[in-house]
Structure 1
């Protein structure tokens, strides 16, 4: 998922926890407050557009609401609702407990995502209740709201990589208006939507589910949330898997720069695949470099003269870049990217705009989910970094060198939290978790949004005996949802039998089981 100038189903602005203290709503390290009552499960209603949209889940799914403190420093004070969803384990006689998912963002709705993705986790549902939730500030859980749908159309249409002083002024003014809208509509919750509070919510969820330990599947930003949880509650960690790992050692600038490199690498892989298919490839260019150069040329033309998009809207340079990024999240979307780029060369931008809309949470009726607002609010509540216009411009050369296609876009994204009404809590996460049960950490060598090296660094920061690394040599964001049998077998075995892969195991499709890597292969 990505927001204006910030791509991530995880990264963009990397959040962090400072060893057990600080930030709005900080509470004693291990909690210490009275636990929540058991959940009352009932029928699920269809979410509206702001809650992620979509149809009501199947009849065998249940929903519940858990009240949690708005401010954990005042545990008996005002509360907010957390929306939860679950599908019961199919083999109740062999049930192992609940398995809680966070699919990333930050800002992704678990209520909307889990039912649609449940087929991928059918093996796990044999013995686990599959559970997910909308984190605070997201979907049905005290959502952060900012601009209206029409205002968001204008906001996303603005130039996100300005070149002139006039464009710079419009860019800064657009951010200012967006932030003012967030403060006006959601000012009360903005100080309390950070990752540390979400981690404390996770432990409330664990208690309300009646589980002694939290069994957890975190994807993308969900790995950062899981790392913070393991740091705060190491003794409460059950079986946990982190897939598509946010690097806990990087500041917001370093994370955005790594993401620029990651998306450029993924684009190069896409371009090379197109070249390798010869005449089947619809794009002009005999090398991957030529295809990438043609994309840069397309961006420049769109910056000067947008082309036809959807519903009267034009495909701008910013929307095209956003659409390209969306398609790089999964290799399954590469054919759409190829088609969209080919059509854009002919003056038709509908497909690239549809991809961009999907990333921004806009449905075909022009209604936006709150994923963009939640993403900004959570990132800015976490990160202390606040970049001025001049500081941002001074860093653009590094971003452009890292990625001719995505560098400008992600470099200007450093201003996403400038003048945000709430101070950030930290700069890099403390995810150290001495005493935690082992956590399986999966890195994908071709991941654009959460580059591969983040998995190794997460293992290092979790501490000795906690992180167990598995490398997947593949493409797209994440590994388990790639369909690779090797990765899925390793994860399923860990959750169902408690058996982790061997040290530095590697999956390379189409192998059937994890294998030990050659020397230094996972370094």
Structure 2
């Protein structure tokens, strides 16, 4: 859940697509908030349940950013959003600049995956502005989610177990239907975070329809999110302590002192409203507050000062303010109904078999939370092949951040090995040691992305040189300005 508290992120055969394709609405001029120029929007009707083509229908909406050049390349770029639960169309303004060189000669396509944005959304009410005491009450959280699920199950596409049909496998069949509707011969896939899982699933189902694949922050299908988040969050936190050991030699001791002081009553200004509120900070809340900033090294650089202020002076405003900064911005809000429909179906059934060792501090925080929610959430069917990553049929470039608390390099390494089985030259895994969650926005990486996708032949596509990014150092620790005496 990407809110001010931090925390998480986050089927049928291809024959299910045949005979179920429906006429797409013609592309129409449209405008999207955050993008100044006129674009094209389209929609496509799809069966909620691919096995029942005559049953309930949902509408899949998509945005096309036309290529700037008249003599454009036919292979469009498909951007797969993260989460799970992000709207690709709402994310478009945030990523368009990074893809500007690709957009010179290629259309960019953003599809709101089923359950997100405009495509049969499964959204829960935003509780980010509720009083902190209401947000943090676990029983109240569960009641709000139960109420949200009950509301979603009354929607035309939520009735009779409809929430079971929002899995990644079915959603990628929608992406294939959009490709056919736009008459795109092949996609160039770009996926970030959960979008990497989506890209791998599309590549598994429709290998001939993919020209190039770039995945950033690899979240493989066998990841078991609630378990891996504890392991990876702990590794990122430990790396933070090591990185700032010289400037903050007492940081580990301050952290241990802070944990030992919990639970404790505090007063904090609500980060979004500025209203002072009184509540109790426990271990679970503190860990979620710390995890959010770890996603972005620029924000994590302020964690040492925030931890010190909380441990030594009892001031927690810095910690919760940093988490708000991480979760703010257009396109960051997740459709939580879609989020749970995916995670409860694809990850939770495998939790008992997960081999990740829980973090010393994080323990089972996320696993326990998801277990409570998924106990009553409708669960879709997932085929065994979903969890397999077959050899890559075309070039794949994987990107990982060495300081990523959610999808660090260990996951990318595993996927790269599977994709490169038999033909390792088709796959490259680039690790940016001091990057967090998401490498595409780092320095020169947009040029690396462009060269990879624009290369005329597969042999020219890989390997790519990313030394301009891998040499970028970690941001130094933030030092609060000390006010002097009034003049």
Same fold (TM > 0.5): yes
1:33 aligns with 2:19: yes
Shift of 1:101: 0.6
Aligned counterpart in structure 2 of residue 468 of structure 1, from 427, 430, 440: 427
Which residue number corresponds to residue 483 of structure 2? none
Which residue number corresponds to residue 405 of structure 2? 448
Q: Distance in 2 between matches of 1:373 and 1:304?
A: 32
Shift of 1:218: 0.8
Shift of 1:465: 3.1
Q: Distance in 2 between matches of 1:375 and 1:155?
A: 24
TM-score normalised over the length of structure 2: 0.79
Report SS of the residue matched to 1:263. Answer: helix
1:106 aligns with 2:84: yes
How many residues were matched structurally?
455
* Aligned counterparts, 1:470-509, within 5 A: 470-472=429-431, 473-483=433-443, 485=444, 487-497=445-455, 498=457, 499-502=460-463, 507=467, 509=469
TM-score normalised over the length of structure 1: 0.74
Q: Indicate conservation of the 8 Å contact 2:299/2:322, yes or no.
A: no
Q: Indicate conservation of the 8 Å contact 1:101/1:218, yes or no.
A: yes
Which residue number corresponds to residue 211 of structure 2? 238
Q: Distance in 2 between matches of 1:341 and 1:384?
A: 32
Which residue number corresponds to residue 38 of structure 2? 60
Report SS of the residue matched to 1:137. Answer: coil
Q: Indicate conservation of the 8 Å contact 2:149/2:337, yes or no.
A: no
Q: Indicate conservation of the 8 Å contact 2:187/2:211, yes or no.
A: yes
Q: Distance in 1 between matches of 2:316 and 2:153?
A: 34
1:214 aligns with 2:182: no
Shift of 1:347: 4.7
CA offsets per residue over residues 157-184 of structure 1, 9 Å max, x none? 2356xxxxxxxx7776666555445445
1:425 aligns with 2:382: yes
Q: Distance in 2 between matches of 1:78 and 1:181?
A: 18
* Aligned counterparts, 1:56-95, within 5 A: 56-95=34-73
Q: Indicate conservation of the 8 Å contact 1:382/1:427, yes or no.
A: no
CA offsets per residue over residues 108-142 of structure 1, 9 Å max, x none? 11111111221122222222222212211112111
Q: Indicate conservation of the 8 Å contact 2:216/2:440, yes or no.
A: yes
Q: Distance in 2 between matches of 1:249 and 1:263?
A: 18
Alignment RMSD (CA, Å): 3.8
Report SS of the residue matched to 1:492. Answer: helix
Which residue number corresponds to residue 248 of structure 1? 221
Report SS of the residue matched to 1:239. Answer: strand
Which residue number corresponds to residue 204 of structure 1? 177
Report SS of the residue matched to 2:180. Answer: helix
Aligned counterpart in structure 2 of residue 377 of structure 1, from 308, 325, 341: 341
| Closer/same/farther in 2, CA of residues 322 and 359 from structure 1, 3 Å limit | farther
| Closer/same/farther in 2, CA of residues 34 and 372 from structure 1, 3 Å limit | closer
Q: Indicate conservation of the 8 Å contact 1:85/1:111, yes or no.
A: yes
| Closer/same/farther in 2, CA of residues 206 and 354 from structure 1, 3 Å limit | farther
| Closer/same/farther in 2, CA of residues 326 and 62 from structure 1, 3 Å limit | farther
* Aligned counterparts, 1:341-420, within 5 A: 341=307, 344=310, 346-357=313-324, 369-383=333-347, 385=349, 399=358, 402-404=359-361, 406-415=362-371, 416-420=373-377
Q: Distance in 2 between matches of 1:63 and 1:314?
A: 46
* Aligned counterparts, 1:19-30, within 5 A: 23=11, 26-29=12-15
Report SS of the residue matched to 2:202. Answer: helix
Q: Indicate conservation of the 8 Å contact 2:121/2:335, yes or no.
A: no
Q: Indicate conservation of the 8 Å contact 1:5/1:412, yes or no.
A: no
Which residue number corresponds to residue 416 of structure 2? 459
Q: Indicate conservation of the 8 Å contact 2:187/2:212, yes or no.
A: yes
Shift of 1:457: 1.9
Q: Indicate conservation of the 8 Å contact 1:39/1:64, yes or no.
A: yes
CA offsets per residue over residues 458-517 of structure 1, 9 Å max, x none? 23334533861222123201222222x3x44432211011433339x87574559xxxxx
Q: Distance in 2 between matches of 1:511 and 1:458?
A: 24
Shift of 1:196: 0.7
Gaps of 5+ in 2: 473-487
| Closer/same/farther in 2, CA of residues 489 and 149 from structure 1, 3 Å limit | closer
Q: Distance in 2 between matches of 1:314 and 1:511?
A: 44
Aligned counterpart in structure 2 of residue 290 of structure 1, from 253, 269, 286: 253
Report SS of the residue matched to 1:407. Answer: coil
